[in-house]
C-alpha cells in the first residue's frame, strides 16, 4: 500500500514550453504533498508544500509564478513549470505522507526528469 505515482517520467521539450507533472496517491488520500528538486549527484531540495484545497507554500527562493502547484483533490497534485528554460532542467520528485502525525514516513513518486533544450 501507500503508492505514489508520478507522471510523466521523462520530458524533453523546447525552451519556452510549459510542462505539467502529475503526482497521484493511488491507494490513500493525501491532504499534503511535497515537491522536491534534485540536481545530478546532489540531495533533494524542498520546493513547495502542496495543500489540498488551498494555496501551496513555497520555499524561499522558489518562484511561485514559475512553478505553479495545484492540489485540487485528495489524490492529485500537479506541478506546472511555466515557460521552461534550460536552467529548469532537473529531476523533480513528489511525495506524500500516509497517515496523520509527525512520525510518518513519506512515500515518493519515481520522479520526472525534465530536459529543456
Partner 1 sequence: SQQGEEDPQALSIQEGENATMNCSYKTSINNLQWYRQNSGRGLVHLILIRSNEREKHSGRLRVTLDTSKKSSSLLITASRAADTASYFCATGRIDSGYALNFGKGTSLLVTP
Q: What is the 3-state secondary structure (H, E, C) of 68-84?
A: EEEEEECCEEEEEECCC
Residue 102 engages partner 1 in binding (rule: CB under 8 A): yes
Site for partner 1 in 19-78 (CB under 8 A): 32, 34, 41-46, 49, 51, 57, 59
Cβ atoms of 46 and 104 within 8 Å: the answer is no
Distance of CA 10 to the CA centre of its chain: 14
Minimal distance, residue 4 CB to partner 1, in Å: 8
Selected range binding partner 1 among 12-20, 63-71, 76-84, 87-95, rule: CB under 8 A: 87-95
β-pairing verdict for 4-7 and 112-116: unpaired
Burial state string for 79-96 with b = 16 or more CB within 10 A and e = fewer than 16: bebeebeeebbbebbbbb
Nearer to partner 1, 34 or 67 (CB): 34
Among 1, 53, 87, 103, binds partner 1 (CB under 8 A): 103
Residue 6 engages partner 1 in binding (rule: CB under 8 A): yes
Question: Looking up cell 522558489, which residue turns up?
Answer: 62
Minimal distance, residue 103 CB to partner 1, in Å: 5
User: What residues line the site for partner 1 (CB under 8 A)?
Assistant: 4, 6, 32, 34, 41-46, 49, 51, 57, 59, 91, 93, 95, 97, 102-111, 113
Amino acid at each position: 500500500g501507500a503508492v505514489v505515482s508520478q507522471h510523466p517520467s521523462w520530458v524533453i521539450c523546447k525552451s519556452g514550453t510549459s510542462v505539467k507533472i502529475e503526482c497521484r496517491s493511488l491507494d490513500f488520500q493525501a491532504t499534503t504533498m511535497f515537491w522536491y528538486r534534485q540536481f545530478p549527484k546532489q540531495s533533494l531540495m524542498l520546493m513547495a508544500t502542496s495543500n489540498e484545497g488551498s494555496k501551496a507554500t513555497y520555499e524561499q527562493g522558489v518562484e511561485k509564478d514559475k512553478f505553479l502547484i495545484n492540489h485540487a483533490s485528495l489524490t492529485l497534485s500537479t506541478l506546472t513549470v511555466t515557460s521552461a528554460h534550460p536552467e529548469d532542467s532537473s529531476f523533480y520528485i513528489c511525495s506524500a505522507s500516509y497517515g496523520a502525525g509527525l512520525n510518518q514516513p513519506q512515500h515518493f513518486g519515481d520522479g520526472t526528469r525534465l530536459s529543456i533544450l
